[in-house]
């Protein structure tokens, strides 16, 4: 095992339409994509596509959507450590410009405890806060073993503040800051207090506020992808997380600023393509995006 990702599995149905019908109306979408979804899950597939295949501890149901997900994982040779649930979780995603509307149905009532895994050889752990018990247990274990721990903080969950005490690299959303009632910089200060060596808050087209191991807070601008080329921003943040974990493990860049720049280019590639699977970048795609788009 080179890395372990822990999260909640979704099947995403992403569609492009001019409007959402209501009442007794019908309409026809212009395009659609069906793919895996979920924060850490999509990040794991991104890391695999780039060239380092992680193990994935994820929710899984014994239904046709669950079997579809296993087929997707087999395509990328991602080992799945299943946490059984009764029904698969499903997302309907409607992108429009640099925004996206999402309707989700989630089953996170796990029928069994999380499985004990042999972490021998593991070099990184990435969690998104789902499966809170597993995330906390493995983060504690990895911190004690000197294994890099990473958090996608898309939202404040039940034990997020406890979890942060075992996280080395925490990259949060603006929504996370809003839930805490804090500014970006105040939230970054909280990360430092919790012992996170590297922290960031992503702000979409406004880039990212972040600090490295020197503790200095900086702004990393986003790349200027023309609005006409932005198709689907859903999943771009997950690609960002998967890409920086890959960059750290693969040595793409000498420090965290360069790891994040690699991830930024991966996201710039991703937002031009519909659906999570199709937007997964290769290393060549990332480097092409870095050359094509200047910082905003």
38-62 mean pLDDT: 97
Contact criterion met (CB below 8 Å) for 219 and 213: no
Phi-psi region of 51 (alpha: psi -120 to 50; beta: other; left: phi over 0): left
**pLDDT tier, 91 (very low <50, low <70, confident <90, very high otherwise):** very high
**pLDDT tier, 296 (very low <50, low <70, confident <90, very high otherwise):** confident
pLDDT of residue 21: 87
Q: Long-range contacts: 200-205, Cβ < 8 Å, 24+? A: 200/170, 200/171, 200/172, 200/260, 201/171, 201/172, 201/173, 201/174, 201/176, 201/177, 202/171, 202/172, 202/173, 202/174, 202/237, 202/240, 203/174, 204/98, 204/174, 204/233, 205/98, 205/296
pLDDT of residue 212: 95
**Res 77 pLDDT > 90:** yes
Domain that holds residue 272: 3-20+29-292
**Res 19 pLDDT > 90:** no
55-73 mean pLDDT: 97
Q: In angstroms, how far is CA 47 from the centroid of its own chain?
A: 10
> What pTM, to 2 d.p., does this model score?
0.95
**Res 100 pLDDT > 90:** no
**How large a percentage of the chain has pLDDT more than 70?**
100
Q: In angstroms, how far is CA 6 from the centroid of its own chain?
A: 11
The Cα–Cα gap between 112 and 104 comes to 23
Contact criterion met (CB below 8 Å) for 213 and 197: yes
CATH number at residue 132: 3.40.1190.20
Nearest CA to 237 out of 208, 195, 215, 217 is that of 208
pLDDT of residue 23: 87
For 231-273, what is each residue's pLDDT tens digit? 999 999 999 999 999 999 999 988 999 999 999 999 999 999 9
Q: Cβ atoms within 10 A of the Cβ of 252, count? A: 20
| DSSP assigned state of 160 | H
For 133-183, what is each residue's pLDDT tens digit? 999 999 999 999 999 999 999 889 888 999 999 999 999 999 999 999 999
Q: Which of 24-33, 189-198, 268-277 has the lowest mean pLDDT?
A: 24-33
pLDDT of residue 97: 80
Pairwise pLDDT comparison (22 vs 288), residue with the higher score? 288
pLDDT of residue 86: 97
pLDDT of residue 15: 93
**How large a percentage of the chain has pLDDT more than 90?**
89
**Based on the structure, what is the number of domains in the chain?**
1
pLDDT of residue 134: 97
pLDDT of residue 96: 86
For the chain, give the mean pLDDT. Answer: 95
DSSP per-residue codes, 10-51: EEEEEEE-S----TT-----SEEEEEEE-HHHHHHHHHHHHT
């Amino acid at each position: 095992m080179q890395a372990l990702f822990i999260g909640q599995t979704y099947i995403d149905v992403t569609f492009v339409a001019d409007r959402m019908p209501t009442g007794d109306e019908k309409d026809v979408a212009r395009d659609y994509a069906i793919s895996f979804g979920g924060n850490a899950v999509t990040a794991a597939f991104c890391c695999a596509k780039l060239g380092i295949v992680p193990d994935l501890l994820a929710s899984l149901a014994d239904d046709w959507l669950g079997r579809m997900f296993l087929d997707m994982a087999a395509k990328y040779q991602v080992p799945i450590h299943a946490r059984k649930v009764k029904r698969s979780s499903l997302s309907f995603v409607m992108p429009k410009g640099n925004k996206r509307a999402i309707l989700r149905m989630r089953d996170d009532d796990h029928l069994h405890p999380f499985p004990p895994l042999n972490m021998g050889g593991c070099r990184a752990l990435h969690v998104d806060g789902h499966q809170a018990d597993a995330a906390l247990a493995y983060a504690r274990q990895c911190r004690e073993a000197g294994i890099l721990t990473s958090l996608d903080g898309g939202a404040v969950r039940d034990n997020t503040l406890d979890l942060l005490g075992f996280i080395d690299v925490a990259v949060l959303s603006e929504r996370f800051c809003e839930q805490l009632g804090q500014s970006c910089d105040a939230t970054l200060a909280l990360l430092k207090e919790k012992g996170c060596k590297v922290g960031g808050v992503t702000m979409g087209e406004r880039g990212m506020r972040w600090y490295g191991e020197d503790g200095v807070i900086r702004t990393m601008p986003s790349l200027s992808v023309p609005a006409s080329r932005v198709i689907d921003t859903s999943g771009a943040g997950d690609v960002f997380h998967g890409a920086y974990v890959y960059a750290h493990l693969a040595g793409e860049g000498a420090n965290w600023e360069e790891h994040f720049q690699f991830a930024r280019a991966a996201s710039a590639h991703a937002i031009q393509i519909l659906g999570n699977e199709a937007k997964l970048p290769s290393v060549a795609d990332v480097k092409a995006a870095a050359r094509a788009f200047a910082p905003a």
